[in-house]
Amino acid sequence: MITNIEVFYTDCGRANEMTSKIVGGAVVNAHKYPWMVTVHADNGLCGGALITRQYVLTAAHCVTNKRNIGVGIAVHDRNRPGQIIPASVVKIHPEYRETEHYDIALIKLQGAVIISERVRTLCLPHNLNLEQAGKHAIAAGWGMTQPGNPNSDSKFLKEVNLKILNAERIITAQGVNLTGACMATGSLFLEVVSDSHVNREGRGGLMGDSGSPLFTRYADGKYHVIGVTATTLKRPRPCMGVSNYARVSVHTQWIMNNIMDSVPCEMANDEMAPVATNHL
């Protein structure tokens, strides 16, 4: 059990599921996942997840050695973010500078966002059973819809249903050595199970931008983040659709230590975050 998390998250992980969804890499209803954000750095675009009113979880490579970092809130159409909030502090996992296996970072916003139907936080994992092999998870983002085609980024937020795989299964199926990735980083390896056509294309977790969250629903009906989109494995059998995610539970203590200066979600919406006048 992971402790000292609930204090921040009395209203986290609630999706806006008013209508039925279409899985298999389809556009989701606007603001269905209100924790999804876009991360703008220089001319690059990544995804991320709002985990407190003032902190965003993303991938380290999205913000390392980058300037002009801002976060798009309440985004469905990535070309029309509801507002862009400048970053005040970027916290990169200290081990990332030594190895790419710790591809995780936190962005502190210049002000606390107002929680609403369109803006809500994603819960941190408090139960390791959330990431067991065989369980299902959701990857969402604005990333490539066609493998290897950088011009196929989606304008609208999309989602895909994935299945957590056992590392030994990947080693057996593909003949790749995952010892370092699995043991050192605790990465999650998944394949698409919701749509066989998508699986044959080898899309796997490519649906999400770098930094976008991998999340799953717990028994309480709330969604919890279990992974951060990192890199896609180079594989001899692209039909497997395998992707690599940084395991959030491994880094939960580091995350908690670095967000304690944030404003808890249950506090009054007393300060609106500044809105950038120009897109970054």
**For this structure, is 210 an active site residue?**
yes
**Of 61, 76, 224, 251, which is the active-site residue?**
61
What DSSP designation does 5 have? -
**Residues near 200 by beta carbon (within 8 Å), at least 6 away in sequence:** 239
Q: How far apart, in whole angstroms, are the C-alpha atoms of residue 247 and residue 78?
A: 26
What DSSP designation does 263 have? P
Q: How far apart, in whole angstroms, are the C-alpha atoms of residue 83 and residue 64?
A: 23
Which helix or strand (DSSP H or E) is residue 91 part of? strand 83-92
Helix %, strand %, coil % for the chain, to 5? 20, 30, 50
**Of 76, 103, 194, 212, which is the active-site residue?**
103
Helix, strand or coil for residue 86?
Answer: strand
**Of 187, 210, 243, 262, which is the active-site residue?**
210
**For this structure, is 103 an active site residue?**
yes
Catalogue the active-site residues: 61, 103, 210
